[in-house]
Amino acid sequence: MEIRSSLEGLKSLLGVNETAPAAAEAKSQAATGSALTSDQATVSNAANEVAQAASEDSVRPEKVASIQGALAAGTYNVPASSVASKIVDAMLGGGQ
C-alpha cells in the first residue's frame, strides 16, 4: 500500500503534473533560499468579458444604484426559484 500526502494523492487522481519550469524554479528557490521579488497577476477571459460588458452602454446606472441601495439596506430579495432556474439554464448551456 502506498501512502501519499493528500495534495499528491489529489494531483494523481486529477492527473495534474507539476510543469517542469515551475518545478525547476521551485527547487532553485528552495536551494538558494530566495523569495519571489515581485507579484504577478493574470486576468482571465471571463474577467475581460465582464470589464467589456461594464464599459458598454447596456449598463443601467439607475438600476445598479437601486440594487446597491437595497443590498446596503438588507432589503434585496431574489426568489430561490429564480436563482435555481438560472443555475439550471447555465448548466444546460442555455445561459450563453
Q: For the segment 11-48, what is each residue's pLDDT rounded down to a tens digit? A: 766 676 655 555 555 555 555 555 567 888 777 788 77
**What was the pLDDT predicted at 13?**
65
Q: Any residues with CB less than 8 A from the CB of 8 and at least 6 apart, and which?
A: none
pLDDT at 85 over 80: yes
Residue with more model confidence, 58 or 2: 58
C-alpha 21, offset from chain centre: 24
Phi, psi at residue 39, to the nearest 5°? -95, 155
**What was the pLDDT predicted at 53?**
74
The predicted model gives 75-87 an average pLDDT of 94
**In the 8-state DSSP scheme, what is residue 55?**
H
**What was the pLDDT predicted at 83?**
94
Instruction: Show the cell assigned to 46.
Output: 471571463
